[in-house]
Amino acid sequence: MLKEMVENVREKCPLIHNITNYVTVNDCANVLLACGGSPIMSDDVDEAEEITSICGGLNINIGTLNQRTIPTMHKAGKKANELGHPVVLDPVGAGASRLRTQTAKDLIDNVKFTVIRGNISEIKALALGEGGARGVDADVADKVTKENLAQAVSFAKEFAKKTGAVIAITGAIDIVADGEKAYCIYNGHPMMSSITGTGCQLSAITAAYVTANPETPLEAATAAVCLMGVCGEKAYERLTEQDGNATYRNYIIDTIFRLTGEELEKCAKYEVF
Amino acid sequence: MLKEMVENVREKCPLIHNITNYVTVNDCANVLLACGGSPIMSDDVDEAEEITSICGGLNINIGTLNQRTIPTMHKAGKKANELGHPVVLDPVGAGASRLRTQTAKDLIDNVKFTVIRGNISEIKALALGEGGARGVDADVADKVTKENLAQAVSFAKEFAKKTGAVIAITGAIDIVADGEKAYCIYNGHPMMSSITGTGCQLSAITAAYVTANPETPLEAATAAVCLMGVCGEKAYERLTEQDGNATYRNYIIDTIFRLTGEELEKCAKYEVF
Amino acid sequence: MLKEMVENVREKCPLIHNITNYVTVNDCANVLLACGGSPIMSDDVDEAEEITSICGGLNINIGTLNQRTIPTMHKAGKKANELGHPVVLDPVGAGASRLRTQTAKDLIDNVKFTVIRGNISEIKALALGEGGARGVDADVADKVTKENLAQAVSFAKEFAKKTGAVIAITGAIDIVADGEKAYCIYNGHPMMSSITGTGCQLSAITAAYVTANPETPLEAATAAVCLMGVCGEKAYERLTEQDGNATYRNYIIDTIFRLTGEELEKCAKYEVF
């Protein structure tokens, strides 16, 4: 299944409208190009609907959120819904401030999302109203482990049911779930958390994947999560003793650029629940 | 001719005021340093004229355009005109939204540009009112080829006459034209389109080149376009089988940092029409 | 002394709230991760106090300054003061425009800063009201040399007394001073000025260092300045003949990621005045 997902993105080259933060925006653009998609970044409310209309999918990311772009997010989201385009939400820092938590909730109430992707603390903040985030990183207390995995899977399925979106909770173990089925993914490397924006990058890739594979959003989001994890592993193997997080960041994007569908199929490690 | 252009930039170290997008801004700053210039990024209307005044040239780029910075672009552009500073326009995404097309047109009506640099779809949107852009990339139907080159050259010369600016249309074949004369440049590598912002980078470099070579804007812009293409070729040769677009992006900037005037003279491939 | 400073950052992993420019923001985030800290970037006035409150320290950088974020800087700064959190100011481009000079001065009048870090022209603009900056770079006439070092040290101590902040003036020779004591640091490499944002990166690191070493801000800021310089030297040694400023930027961050307290202790070159 993963092989076809990868190849569909490379063949269709989905154009993705990104309303995103200024910290990781360049990485998001380059990673979209690396996976076979095409990026456009635009956040002014006056062009939101036009830009969304010429694209195939929309990626909304609330990092460095500011008042100016919130109406753009709503307008673009509604337009994408009207056109039947997939929409991804990355609720960066939900739980860390009322502005972010409330904006993410309002977006979920007003826009139908195809995928909501965040760390466990962000997703808990949205689902349960708990604010356990350590800034933009997950709180250690929230961590998904082998011990609490069954519980976390149920939680993801519940929130998927409630929102109608595929829920992707990423961390050491990733969970991608709709209301009925969940994939737990064991790829990735701890050093990925030493790079800013691997989560943002994954959300952008996810938008490309669900846009190029519109009939199977659960599997497409799973493929995107596996891709990021596998590339994190492979890029880590390239590192020398002198390399750190800057080179690692470049190598991950390089690996995404090169990875074939066969390689993803071979290296992805997941279970279905 | 190209050798002197390169050396003038390295000698004079022109300070360039950039009003630009947040996607590729870091690359624009680093590439200006790499080619021998010096960058300052500033977009608040209250400091526009002061910042323009201490610089030698101005680079206006409408990527991630928003209402806040449009008055800054006009104010800085007019100030640069008053002071006789070269001004470059990069109409990123013109044709993709009315906001971008109209803003670029208004700027052209109110500011005298030294160079306007874009892809063929962006330039067509401004010259002909056609909106064929695929987001921020050129439409395949618009592509400049050996077959339609004579026609594209005429089109570039016409638009140069109309605007009084040197027109640089970049793609697989690049055209740099004023009203009388055009250079067609055959350097570059297809993989350059896998990196976000090579166009933005080129516009920033062009601003440094026309600022350090103020008497010959057509040749200075040609040198900048050749430089980008030659460095794209040389950087490609450094890539290993594991490298992708992230390493390629770094190697292009590295190559610009190292390239001498002699090397550019030797490797540039162009014809005059 | 330096060894403990480095290790405290890696152990405590201080969370730093950054209100910063969009040119170097990604590098600031990655360099904070590299040195052992954790970044959050946030600039909307509505979440300023909440974000500051969950962090351990605050880093205010006025590059690409705009009207929208000035109230955020004041609000976050005051909140950090209330909570006893260290606050760093990077007055990027002070002296280059009235907006930047005045904003930096207003911030100094209203917020108690732990460290103010800039180049000599920026610090002179704030201390003496002189505007000698060449954009965001120091004016050559202002340069700190062996000849004028004693005078520059006195100047730094005076401004430290006046503001109550540790003053870090960075350049070929760096000075870090409080009202009584100054460290002059001789690490670094001239090629560091070919990369955009090494100053911004240093300010972010400094925020992490003074947050993890709250009792000794003078020594913590000195350690941060030594770290940047030593890593600039070590990264330079890795460069091949084909590498330029893009690879150098990555290698500096890589080196920061890897550097141990022992290595810093061994390689730092400074005198006390």
- Dump the DSSP string for A253-265: HHHHHH--HHHHH
What is the per-residue pLDDT across B139-191, written as a single tens digit (0 to 9) for each?
777 899 999 999 999 999 999 999 999 999 999 999 999 999 999 999 999 99
Q: In the predicted model, what is the mean pLDDT of residues A239-263?
A: 98
Nearest to B159 by CA among B113, B209, B213: B113
3-state secondary structure at position B217: helix
- Write down the pLDDT at residue C263: 98
Ranges assigned E (strand) in chain B:
15-19, 38-41, 57-61, 87-90, 115-118, 166-169, 174-177, 182-185, 270-272
CATH no., domain B2-272: 3.40.1190.20
CA of B132 to nearest chain C CA: how many angstroms apart? Answer: 30
| Inter-residue contact B176 to B166 (CB < 8 Å) | yes
CA of A271 to nearest chain C CA: how many angstroms apart? Answer: 32
| Inter-residue contact C193 to C164 (CB < 8 Å) | no
Please list, residue by residue across C2-40, b when 16 or more beta carbons sit within 10 angstroms of its beta carbon and e when fewer do: bebbbbbbeebbbbbbbbbbbbbbbbbbbbbbbbbbbbb
Q: Determine contact: A68 vs chain B, CB below 8 A.
A: yes
Across the interface, which of B40, B250, B256 has its CB nearest the CB of C250?
B250
Across the interface, which of B63, B93, B245 has its CB nearest the CB of A34?
B245
**CB under 8 Å to C152, separation ≥6 — which residues?**
C120, C144, C169, C175
Q: Determine contact: A43 vs chain B, CB below 8 A.
A: yes
Neighbours of B (≥3 Cβ pairs closer than 8 A)? Answer: A, C
Residue C120: is its pLDDT beyond 90? yes
Question: Which chain C residues have a beta carbon less than 8 Å from that of B73?
Answer: none
**CB under 8 Å to B16, separation ≥6 — which residues?**
B32, B37, B38, B39, B40, B55, B56, B57, B58, B59, B204, B207, B208, B211
Three-point CA angle C67, B200, B148, nearest 5° = 140
What is the per-residue pLDDT across B91-119, written as a single tens digit (0 to 9) for each?
999 999 999 999 999 999 999 999 999 99
3-state secondary structure at position A211: helix
CA dihedral C249, C250, C251, C253 (to 10 degrees): 90
pTM for this predicted structure: 0.97
Nearest to B193 by CA among B226, B229, B167, B145: B229
Per the DSSP assignment, residues forming a β-bridge with A41 are: A18
Residue C119: is its pLDDT beyond 60? yes
**CB under 8 Å to C129, separation ≥6 — which residues?**
none
- Write down the pLDDT at residue C152: 96
Residue C133: is its pLDDT beyond 80? no
Instruction: Give residue for tokens 């846009």.
Output: A211
What is the per-residue pLDDT across C137-173, written as a single tens digit (0 to 9) for each?
777 778 999 999 999 999 999 999 999 999 999 999 9
pLDDT interval class at C132 (50, 70, 90): low
- In chain B, the residue whose alpha carbon lies closest to the alpha carbon of C62 is B42
Question: Which chain A residues have a beta carbon less than 8 Å from that of C47?
Answer: 65, 96-100
Residue A132: is its pLDDT beyond 60? no
CA of B133 to nearest chain A CA: how many angstroms apart? Answer: 9
What is the per-residue pLDDT across C11-58, written as a single tens digit (0 to 9) for each?
999 999 999 999 999 999 999 999 999 999 999 999 999 999 999 999
What is the per-residue pLDDT across C241-271, written as a single tens digit (0 to 9) for each?
999 999 999 999 999 999 999 999 999 999 9
Q: Determine contact: A53 vs chain B, CB below 8 A.
A: no
- Residue of C41, C55, C68, C243 to mutate, interface with A, max A Cβ within 10 Å: C41
- Write down the pLDDT at residue B134: 66
- Write down the pLDDT at residue C131: 58
- Write down the pLDDT at residue A46: 97
pLDDT over 90, % of chain B: 95
Per the DSSP assignment, residues forming a β-bridge with C89 are: C60, C116
Q: In the predicted model, what is the mean pLDDT of residues A136-147?
A: 83
Residue A114: is its pLDDT beyond 90? yes
3-state secondary structure at position A21: coil
- In chain A, the residue whose alpha carbon lies closest to the alpha carbon of B26 is A26
- Return d(Cα A71, Cα A44) in angstroms, integer: 9
pLDDT interval class at A140 (50, 70, 90): confident
Question: Which chain B residues have a beta carbon less than 8 Å from that of A259?
Answer: none
Residue A246: is its pLDDT beyond 90? yes
What is the per-residue pLDDT across A170-179, written as a single tens digit (0 to 9) for each?
999 999 999 9
Across the interface, which of C67, C100, C245 has its CB nearest the CB of B34?
C245
The reply to whether residue A194 touches residue C34, judged by beta carbons under 8 angstroms, is yes
H helix runs in chain C, sequence order? 2-12, 25-35, 48-54, 70-83, 98-110, 120-128, 149-163, 198-212, 217-238, 245-258, 261-267
The residue type at B11? E
pLDDT interval class at A131 (50, 70, 90): low
3-state secondary structure at position C15: strand
The reply to whether residue C243 touches residue B255, judged by beta carbons under 8 angstroms, is no
Give the relative orientation of helices A25-35 and A245-258 as an angle to the nearest 10 degrees. Answer: 30
Residue A35: is its pLDDT beyond 90? yes
- Write down the pLDDT at residue C134: 66
What is the per-residue pLDDT across C179-200, written as a single tens digit (0 to 9) for each?
999 999 999 999 999 999 999 9
- Write down the pLDDT at residue C174: 98
- In chain C, the residue whose alpha carbon lies closest to the alpha carbon of A135 is C40
The residue type at C172? A
Q: What is the DSSP string of B59-93?
A: EEE-TT--GGGHHHHHHHHHHHHHHT--EEEE-TT
Q: Determine contact: A147 vs chain B, CB below 8 A.
A: no
- Return d(Cα C180, Cα A205) in angstroms, integer: 54
3-state secondary structure at position B16: strand
The reply to whether residue B243 touches residue A254, judged by beta carbons under 8 angstroms, is yes
What is the per-residue pLDDT across B49-62, written as a single tens digit (0 to 9) for each?
999 999 999 999 99
A264 alpha-carbon distance from chain centroid:
18
Three-point CA angle C35, C36, C40, nearest 5° = 100
- Write down the pLDDT at residue B133: 60
- Write down the pLDDT at residue B261: 98
| Inter-residue contact C91 to C104 (CB < 8 Å) | yes
- Write down the pLDDT at residue A159: 98
Residue C205: is its pLDDT beyond 60? yes
> Tokens standing for C201?
């990166």
- Return d(Cα A156, Cα A174) in angstroms, integer: 11
